[in-house]
Amino acid sequence: MIKTLTGVRIKTYQGGTGYANKISFTGIKFDAVNNPIIIDQYYCPSHKGCLTSVSIQN
């Protein structure tokens, strides 16, 4: 991935249940990617009725 805003993502919907494990990303090369890996635990694509919690990005 070259000069992109976002690389790979893991998204979970707000209020969702369950868990994810044994996830791996292999063979990916990043060059000038702003956010190579994002884990979004409060994904809300509609932007309506979203919880006020936010994910932390490092």
Higher pLDDT, 9 or 58: 9
**Do residues 29 and 4 make contact, with C-beta atoms less than 8 angstroms apart?**
no
| Boundaries of domain holding 27 | 1-58
Domain count along the chain: 1
Higher pLDDT, 37 or 45: 37
Q: Is the pLDDT of residue 4 over 80?
A: yes
Q: What is the pLDDT of residue 42?
A: 81
- CA–CA dist 27, 23 (Å, integer): 14
